[in-house]
């Protein structure tokens, strides 16, 4: 396990993933009844953007820093930037919340979180960070086992972020299997699977398999900051949203063009939104 998220925290992929994840959690909370948030590859709670790792790559400068302090943000982004602001107050942008912290900030008394992280140091930091909150359980274990271990949840409503580092060639395949297990165990599970867009051709099989996975509703959302066939690295990223809550589609259609424009490099930002299975 070489991947460390501290080098990438707050980059364009985090902005895209976290803004949508936050909105999904808000939509889960329209009902008073509790829901359970699962984060199988949790990372840690807070990242220091002035620390050594973030300083080495400077990736956040083309991500969250482009939105910070703006007063023209569309709704999806303004809630998200406000949530990042919770850690920074009126000061300069310094601390960036990872997905567990972002969701924990809005957790209600009746909600619950299950986090797993395999890196011992990050798991320990996460456990320490949330130690006084009885609603949040941290497990140092393989995130791909989460569905088998915890679904169905007693709340009968779950939102699962599936966000592996994609260090292994078979990670997309493992994600597909884990999603199928989750849906078999609890059909209404809402899942957000994040994936990198480096070479679009490599994703074609994945799209086909996702469409044929027997999952009721699959919404594909993508944001690219460079042309998708550029060989420089992470050209963008996507989210496969399983059973996405209504009216996410409309909100994404409204705000993604703005985000693609703001995060695109040399004017090359683009976005995509379509159903691979099911529909509205």
Ligand X SMILES: C[S@@+](CC[C@H](N)C(=O)[O-])C[C@H]1O[C@@H](n2cnc3c(N)ncnc32)[C@H](O)[C@@H]1O
Report cis status (omega within 30 of 0) of the bond before 152: yes
Q: Has 62 been annotated as catalytic?
A: no
Buried b (16+ CB within 10 A) or exposed e, 66-86: ebeeeeebbebbbebbebbee
Nearest approach, Cβ of 31 to ligand X (angstroms)? Answer: 25
CB nearer ligand X, residue 40 or residue 243: 40
CB nearer ligand X, residue 62 or residue 140: 140
CB nearer ligand X, residue 142 or residue 250: 142
Nearest approach, Cβ of 140 to ligand X (angstroms)? Answer: 8
Q: How far apart are CA 280 and CA 275, in angstroms?
A: 9
End-to-end CA distance of the chain: 39
And the tokens for 233? 């690295």
Nearest approach, Cβ of 78 to ligand X (angstroms)? Answer: 20
Q: How far apart are CA 222 and CA 195, in angstroms?
A: 9
CB nearer ligand X, residue 19 or residue 203: 19
SS3 159: strand
**Quick one: 266 exposed, middle or buried, by C-beta within 10 A (0-12, 13-18, 19+)?**
exposed
User: What is the number of residues in the chain?
Assistant: 280
Nearest approach, Cβ of 266 to ligand X (angstroms)? Answer: 26
Nearest approach, Cβ of 39 to ligand X (angstroms)? Answer: 6
Q: How far apart are CA 235 and CA 198, in angstroms?
A: 5
Contact 220, 273 (CB under 8 A): yes
Contact 143, 193 (CB under 8 A): no
CB nearer ligand X, residue 177 or residue 277: 177
Closest by Cα among 261, 175, 185 to 218: 175
Nearest approach, Cβ of 32 to ligand X (angstroms)? Answer: 27
CB nearer ligand X, residue 166 or residue 275: 166
Interaction site with ligand X (CB under 6 A): 1, 3, 5, 17, 39-43, 98-99, 116-119, 122, 142-144, 163-165
Q: Would you say the C-alpha torsion 275, 226, 231, 172 has a positive or negative sign?
A: negative
Catalytic, out of 14, 111, 163, 255: 163
Which residues are annotated as catalytic?
163
């Amino acid at each position: 396990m070489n991947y460390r998220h501290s080098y990438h925290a707050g980059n364009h992929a985090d902005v895209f993933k976290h803004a949508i994840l936050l909105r999904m959690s808000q939509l889960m909370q329209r009902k008073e009844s509790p829901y359970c948030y699962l984060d199988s590859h949790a990372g840690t709670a807070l990242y220091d953007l002035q620390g050594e790792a973030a300083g080495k790559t400077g990736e956040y400068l083309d991500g969250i820093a482009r939105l910070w302090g703006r007063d023209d943000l569309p709704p999806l982004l303004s809630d998200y930037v406000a949530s990042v602001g919770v850690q920074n107050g009126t000061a300069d942008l310094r601390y960036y919340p990872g997905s567990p912290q972002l969701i924990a900030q809005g957790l209600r008394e009746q909600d619950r979180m299950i986090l797993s992280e395999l890196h011992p140091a990050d798991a320990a930091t996460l456990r320490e960070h949330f130690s006084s909150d009885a609603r949040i359980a941290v497990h140092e274990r393989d995130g791909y086992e989460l569905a088998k271990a915890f679904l169905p949840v007693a709340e009968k409503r779950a939102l699962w972020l599936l966000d592996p580092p994609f260090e292994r060639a078979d990670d997309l395949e493992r994600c597909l299997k884990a999603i199928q297990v989750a849906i078999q165990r609890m059909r209404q599970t809402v899942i957000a699977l994040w994936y990198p867009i480096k070479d679009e051709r490599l994703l074609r099989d994945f799209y086909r398999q996702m469409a044929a996975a027997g999952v009721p509703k699959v919404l594909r959302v993508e944001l690219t900051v460079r042309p998708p066939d550029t060989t420089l690295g992470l050209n963008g990223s996507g989210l496969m949203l399983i059973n996405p809550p209504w009216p996410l589609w409309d909100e994404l259609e409204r705000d993604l063009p703005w985000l693609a424009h703001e995060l695109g490099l040399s004017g090359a930002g683009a976005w995509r939104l379509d159903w691979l299975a099911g529909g509205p």
